[in-house]
Every structure is written in C-alpha cells, then in structure tokens.
Amino acid sequence: MGHRLTPNAEIVFENARVPADNLIEGTRGNGDLLINRNFAWSGPVAGIAAVGVARSAYEAALEWAKTYTAGGPNPIINHQNVGYVLGDVAARIEMCRCFCWKAAHYMDQHDYHGELIGAMCKIQCTELMFEAVYKCMQVVGVNSLDKQHSWEKLLREAAVLPLYDAGNFGMQRRRVHGVLASPDFDPRALMNNTFVNFTKAMEVIDTIPGYVETPLVPTG
C-alpha cells in the first residue's frame, strides 16, 4: 500500500557461499547484532520521513482551514477546535523533528551505536506522525476522502512507517524492553548522552526460546 514507488524485489541465492574472509569484522556468530545495529541508525531516518509526511498533511490542512468555510460566514480556522487541533499537530511535528536530530547526534557520538534511542525514535515519531496525519484529515473532514486531494497518499505513507523497517510491535519495542530490563541500565543514560551497550541477551527478551530436543531417559 505505502511507498508504491519503492523498487521492492525478492532476491534468491542458490548454492551461494561467502568466504569467511569476506565477513564484516566482528560479525561471526553475531549477525543478529549487526542487524540490530543497522535498524538503530535507520530509526531516525524513518522518523524524519514520518515528520515530512505529517508536515505535508499539516500545511495542507492549515491552508484548507484558512480558505474553507463549510457554509459558514468565516473560514473554519476561526473555530476553536480547528485551531487547537492544528496547534497540537504543529507542536508534535517539532517534537519529533527534535527527537530525530537528538537520535542522529547520539549515534554520531557513539560510533553509530544507538540501539535504544534509535528504536525509541522510530516508534514514537512514526506513531505520533500517523496520528497527526489523521488529525489533519479530521480537520478537512469528509473532503479528505476525495481522491482529487492528496490525503489518500499521505495516509498510506503514514500508515506504512510504523509497520516496516523492523515493526514497532515486535523488533523495535523488544529492543527497548531488553535494554530497560537490564540490571545495569542507567535510566538517565540518554539524558546524559552516555553510551548504552546492547547485548544478545537484550535482543531476545520476551521471545519464545527455540525448540530444544530433550533426550529420552529410560524409566523403571
């Protein structure tokens, strides 16, 4: 549904072998940690994409509210509810923009490690911005369902962001949960811009262990 112009394709390797010398340094037996690290830096990337979608929706809704009267004597921007909703949306856009900058700056300072803040940024920004787009559609009202406007595209783009790039309900929240549950976690680490280590134990929290065959023990 979303990102219709993205050239998605399936790649299948048959009888492919990669020489051990070609492995990325430090990833032997740690491919899962490499994946988590990649999804860390992509967190603010997805977050800022969500900010862009929400900003487009906000500016379109604001322009609509300043010109559309809904049959009344004045544009609907003069109504309290419309002004309050758009004000909240504008504030949330700036909040998420700043969070993305914070997350990117943190990773720049810690050798691109930011598994905790990257996940937090992706979760909060993509979900808040989806809500922001829908709030803007409520301001526009039933006219937002007319395909002559861009609302269908904006809603599709906003909806896909929390679901892909390591879905928010799954990999992203599990990463946050794993770090917070660690006995060594400092709850002020992000505030103080200190390094937060991410380990294998953190990435498997609240998951079901793989099946392990138990040998039969003779009885009697």
The catalytic residues are 165
Residue 119's region, left for phi above 0, alpha for psi from -120 to 50, else beta, is: alpha
Burial of residue 44 (number of CB atoms within 10 Å: 0-12, 13-18, 19+)? buried
**Coil vs helix vs strand at 12:** coil
Sequential DSSP letters for 160-217: HTTTSSS-IIIIIHHHHHHHHHSTT--TTTTTTT------HHHHTTTSPPPP-PPPP-
Residue 66's H or E segment, with its range, is: helix 31-67
Q: Pull the structure tokens for residue 5.
A: 């112009």
Spatial separation of the C-alpha atoms in residues 139 and 132, rounded to whole Å: 11
Contact 129, 49 (CB under 8 A): no
